[in-house]
C-alpha cells in the first residue's frame, strides 16, 4: 500500500484511506502513511457541500471492503 501511495502522490494525487472501524483506520495510517478515517466519516464528509473541490485529484483506498454491508453502496 505504501508503494501505491507513493505512485499516486508522485503523479500529484492525494491518497486517503477508509476502513470500517476506527482502530483499523488508525493502523492503516500508521502502517502506510495514508491519512485514514472510517468509511462512515468519509461518507459524511463527502455528503457536505464543496466535496467535489475538496476531493479533486484524490484516490480513496478502501481497506477490507469485503467487510462492508451491501447497502452502504446505495448512498
Q: How many whole angstroms separate alpha carbon 72 and alpha carbon 40?
A: 9
Residue 75 lies in a domain: no
Residue 55 lies in a domain: yes
Residue 29 lies in a domain: yes
The pLDDT tens digits of the residues spanning 17-61 come to 999 999 999 999 999 999 999 998 998 888 887 777 888 999 999
The pLDDT tens digits of the residues spanning 4-14 come to 899 999 999 99
Residue with cell 472501524: 21
Residue 35 lies in a domain: yes
Q: Which of 49, 72, 52, 71 is nearest to 62 (CA)?
A: 72
Could you tell me the pTM of the whole model?
0.79
What is the greatest pairwise CA distance in the chain? 34
Distance separating the N- and C-terminal Cα atoms of the chain: 26
* Domain tally, the chain: 1
Q: DSSP class of residue 67?
A: G
Residue 72 lies in a domain: no
**pLDDT in the model for residue 73:** 55
Q: Containing domain of residue 22, as a range?
A: 2-65
Amino acid at each position: 500500500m505504501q508503494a501505491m501511495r507513493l505512485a499516486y502522490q508522485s503523479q500529484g494525487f492525494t491518497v486517503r484511506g477508509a476502513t470500517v472501524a476506527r482502530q483499523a483506520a488508525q493502523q492503516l495510517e500508521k502502517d502506510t502513511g495514508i491519512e485514514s478515517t472510517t468509511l462512515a466519516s468519509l461518507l459524511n464528509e463527502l455528503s457536505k457541500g464543496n466535496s467535489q473541490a475538496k476531493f479533486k485529484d484524490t484516490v480513496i483506498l478502501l481497506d477490507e471492503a469485503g467487510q462492508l454491508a451491501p447497502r452502504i453502496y446505495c448512498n
